[in-house]
Amino acid sequence: MVELKNVDVHYKEGGVDALNDVSLRINDGEFVFIVGSSGAGKSTLLKLLTREKTPTNGRVFVNGYNLSNLKNRKIPYFRRSMGMIFQDFRLIPNLTVYENVAFVLRVTDRSSRYIRQRVPYVLNLVKLNDKARAYPSQLSGGEQQRVAIARAFAPDPGLIIADEPTGNIDPELSYEIVEILKDINKCGTTVLMVTHEHDLVKYFGGRIISLKKGNVDFDDYIGGDGDSE
Ligand code: ADP
């Protein structure tokens, strides 16, 4: 669950109110698109959710953690409750696809047996089983992003945050990326996806939260044009 209660974020430099009295709630298992033009406050919202920033006023709750009083030493544990996907993939270049995914499980002390089962399962989910031995440089952008999705999902987090995940991908392959995120969402993981791509949002529909100048301008469900079900 993600909840913001009356959140303001004020940047002293420039005197900018990046978010003004924002309240919203996203329940477990939802898939939400977050949209808004440049400067609307999307990055600031994500930074609150990952606890890179704390609000000037108001409270933020994520995955059962009250981020207002989360101790610094607990932040790494909190971050393990979420998976992140970025526009620029952020794979480890000298590790194979398999090892990129296994790596996140090793650093969180999963057993070798679990890793041997889990990595092929998540690679299958993103349809990349046949690329397990490839290195990131040998993959297309769309394939690299699918590895990044597999890696984010491997530890089975309650929440996945995708920050412009289709930003560096050919437009026709963007749909496939969202389809995969939808499949992951069907496994029960909450997915928040920030995007600029109106065509994608129109095609898939669902809950849309639109930010405008630091305010929630629209928060509702729209029907999708595409045949996504
Ligand atoms: P978006 O991600 O939607 O483009 P941001 O959250 O990055 O929006 O920015 C919201 C507002 O806050 C903008 O006016 C931006 O200039 C300002 N802002 C963002 N980060 C900082 C910062 N570190 N210092 C000062 N102002 C900032």
pLDDT digits (tens, 9 = 90+) for 74-129: 999 999 999 999 999 999 999 999 999 999 999 999 999 999 999 999 999 999 99
In this prediction, residue 210 carries a pLDDT of 98
Using CA positions, which residue lies closest to atom 6 of ligand 1?
A: 41
DSSP string, the chain: -EEEEEEEEEETGGGEEEEEEEEEEE-TT-EEEEE--TTSSHHHHHHHHTTSS--SEEEEEETTEEGGG--GGGHHHHHTTEEEE-TT----TTS-HHHHHHHHHHHTT--HHHHHHHHHHHHHHTT-GGGTT--GGGS-HHHHHHHHHHHHHTT--SEEEEESTTTTS-HHHHHHHHHHHHHHHHTT-EEEEE---HHHHHHH-EEEEEEETTEEEEEEEE--SS---
Nearest-atom number in ligand 1 for the CA of 37 is 3
Cβ neighbours of residue 186 closer than 8 Å, sequence gap 6 or more? none
Q: Determine the distance separating the centroid of ligand 1 and the alpha carbon of 202, expressed in angstroms.
A: 26
Average pLDDT of the chain to the nearest whole number: 96
pLDDT digits (tens, 9 = 90+) for 128-170: 999 999 999 999 999 999 999 999 999 999 999 999 999 999 9
Q: Match domain 1-81+159-229 to its CATH number in 3.40.50.2300, 3.40.50.300, 1.10.1200.10, 3.40.50.720.
A: 3.40.50.300
pLDDT digits (tens, 9 = 90+) for 27-53: 999 999 999 999 999 999 999 999 999
In this prediction, residue 227 carries a pLDDT of 59
Nearest-atom number in ligand 1 for the CA of 47 is 6
Phi, psi of 181 (to 5 degrees): -65, -35
Q: Give the alpha-carbon dihedral of 146, 100, 48, 26, to 10 degrees.
A: 50
Domain boundaries, the chain: 1-81+159-229, 91-156
Residues with CB under 6 A from ligand 1: 11, 13-14, 16, 18, 36, 38-44
Q: Determine the distance separating the centroid of ligand 1 and the alpha carbon of 57, expressed in angstroms.
A: 17
